[in-house]
Structure 1
Amino acid sequence: MASPKPVTHVIFDMDGLLLDTVGICLECQNRILEPLGHSLSWVQLMAQMGLSATEMCQNICQDFHLEITPEEYKRRLALVYPEVFPKSTIMPGAERLVRHLHKHNIPIAIASGGAQDSFDLKTTNHRDLVSLFGHVVLASSDPEVTKGKPEPDVFLVCARRFPDNPDPSKCLVFEDAPNGVQAGVAAGMQVVMVPDSRLSSELTKGATEVLASLEDFKPERYGLPPFDD
């Protein structure tokens, strides 16, 4: 792993990092695919995580040779979301870290590959936590984000929207997916990866640090205020 350098700003991914939504995302995909005679594995889903919704739907339709358009696939997904996404729960260590950084006036933001409608559903029961972030950039809805992860766009746009427009090298990214790590590195940022335990170690390369949980993060390693307890 690379040697951590001091940072001033922090950017969080959301799915699988702040909120435990990956399993829910997989359920949604398979509700659409199974009637069509297909199923998506967890490994296949992880290869798509971080892409914009349009890119993901295009890839799935192409990979499974579906006879419906990506637009129709996306429409069918949207019908499932209201039932399942409000059940999303907070990942271990996430709330403690976010509240700690906010308390110490560290600028924080969210940069996700998702869209506004699904974001609103996922955060239905977590509005208080989301309110602590200075801003949120959603690759599938934001007109300034032309490409989803692993391209760096969403992180670069997110960094520019901090009031003081920090250099990307001063931003620390938290990610769980390989596409997100690649995007953060391409943006010139350090990346702390918190991957699912099932993910191959080969897919964690590029991260500054790899943790089993956000509970294991040591802010002082990056020049941030240490936890009080």
Structure 2
Amino acid sequence: MAPRTDFPPVRACLFDMDGLLLDTEDIYTQCINVILKEHSQTRPELPWDVKAKLQGRPGPAATQILLEWADLKLTPEEYLARIVTLHQERFPTTRPLAGVPELLANLAKTQKHQQKPVHIALATSSHLANFKLKTDHLTELFSVFPDERRVLGDDQRLKPGRGKPLPDIFLLALDTINASLPEGEEPIKPEECLVFEDSVPGVEAGRRAGMRVIWCPHKELKALYAGREAEVLAGRTGEAGDVDMHQVGELDDGWGEYLASLEDFPYEKYGIVVPQ
């Protein structure tokens, strides 16, 4: 189909965190591999085709997928206790990925543009404890996200079982923005939002929310989906199963874009004006 080109300017940017803002995906893999080497006779390392199914999902859903694949002789509680210990050791070393500090700083600058401010919110499947482990040493970087515009995986407003690839977390993030807009500013519509994601379930969640999406994946994930990029950008890889297909996009419809990194982001393409 012919891609849409008459989009309104972006008024809100909604960000995933793991693997998109922070270099946590390799740390997650390292931690899981430690457990596999300790407890699995047949699955010594986590391959990317399995890891791709874990990315972006809420913790309990990802754990269930992993335990079934690995056939570990661990209960979910035993696995959780071990993985938490490994996370506590390694997450305090996280660093922002290339281009992230500049992008967030530039979007924050738009708040000085009274006619074209771009609002931002965080929409991450990480629960509060893990969020703090990953970000307490990066408070300046995350200061651009007001507390009321941070939606975490254990947010009580999210219904159980409604995590990514379903759209709820991004729709809630937009609600937090609209609830805190300056007086007189019109509510932001989903098609005025730009979702930033690295995971395939996350892209599907953004598309199901009726939002435009930037897909900026790990190079190994991109290689795994070589030749299927159009499916990913349309949200048509079936991560949520064959349900509510009217919510996903069409191939090459112009609502999604792949970027190798967030460096040199094309602001003008999205109608974003960064004050000099």
Identify the TM-score tier after normalising by the shorter chain. Answer: over 0.9
Match of residue 259 from structure 2: 211
In the superposition, relative to structure 1, how do residues 52 and 115 fare at CA in structure 2: closer, same or farther (>3 Å)?
same
Cα distance, 1:111 vs structure 2 = 0.6
- Residue 13 in 1 paired to residue 28 in 2? no
Question: In structure 2, what is the Cα distance between the partners aligned to 1:3 and 1:96?
Answer: 27
Q: How many corresponding residue pairs?
A: 227
Of residues 216, 219, 222, the one that matches 1:197 is 219
Deviation at 1:166, TM superposition (A): 2.5
C-alpha distance in 2 between matches for 1:4 and 1:27: 44
Equivalent residue letter for 2:166: E
The equivalent residue for 1:116 is 128
The change in CA–CA distance for 1:194 and 1:227 in structure 2 (over 3 A counts) is: farther
Q: In the alignment, what sits opposite 1:103?
A: 109
- 2:36 corresponds, among 29, 33, 36, to 33
1:128 aligns with 2:128: no
Aligned-residue Cα RMSD (Å) equals 1.7
Q: CA deviation at 1:53?
A: 0.6
> How big is the shift at 1:216?
3.4
Q: Distance in 2 between matches of 1:214 and 1:194?
A: 7
**Corresponding residue for 1:138?**
152
Q: Is 1:182 aligned with 2:220?
A: no
- Tell me which moved more, 143-152 or 9-18: 143-152
Percent identical pairs in the alignment equals 36
Q: Is the 8 Å Cα contact of residues 2 and 209 (structure 1) preserved in structure 2? A: no
Gaps of 5+ in 1: none
Contact in 1 for aligned 2:16/2:196 (Cα 8 Å): yes
CA distance in 2, matches of 1:2, 1:126: 38
Q: Decide which structure has the larger Cα Rg and report it.
A: 2
Given that residues 28 and 81 in structure 1 are in contact (C-alpha distance below 8 angstroms), is that contact kept between their aligned partners in structure 2?
A: yes
5+ residue gaps, structure 2: 112-117, 182-186, 235-254
TM-score after normalising by structure 2:
0.77
1:224 counterpart letter in structure 2: I
Give the corresponding residue for 1:221: 269
What is aligned with 1:173?
195
